[in-house]
Amino acid sequence: MDYSQLQPESIISKNQYEFSEDFINKYTESVKDNSNYKNSVPPMAISALSIRGVLNDLKIPGGTVHVSQEFNYFSSIEKSELIECLATIISNNVRGEWRFLSIKLETISTDQKLIMTGKSTIMIPVEKNNA
């Protein structure tokens, strides 16, 4: 992928997810979360899928560093709800041997309810021909 072509406001990832009981159990076990969510989805599970979609869709190369992330949650969702995770470029800058990509994340429900917003910044090693 030619990361130098990514412009602000470009949609880089758009995925839909439905949370299964199996996914929730595996997620809470892997992060050692003993909270009782009953029928709702753990908020950080939403963030994890949102970030995973971006990393997969951007085909992030080895050597990439995850610099920062922030999330704001506005509403909970039920385990059977379908959500859409959208990611757009905020900024794309090169400093030295690194490309800094800042990414805006937004998650909405099928009834257009805002679930989560966030921002993540990653550093990708610059390829000499794509600076």
Structure tokens at 116: 């989560």
The Cα 113–Cα 122 span in angstroms is: 28
Q: Is 104 helix (H, G, I), strand (E, B) or coil?
A: strand
Q: What is the pLDDT of residues 89-127, one digit of tens each?
A: 999 999 999 999 999 999 999 889 999 999 999 999 997
Domains along the chain with CATH numbers: 3-130 (3.10.129.10)
Instruction: Give percent of the chain with pLDDT exceeding 90.
Output: 53
Q: Is 15 helix (H, G, I), strand (E, B) or coil?
A: strand
Could you tell me the pTM of the whole model? 0.85
Q: How many CB atoms lie within 10 A of CB 105?
A: 24
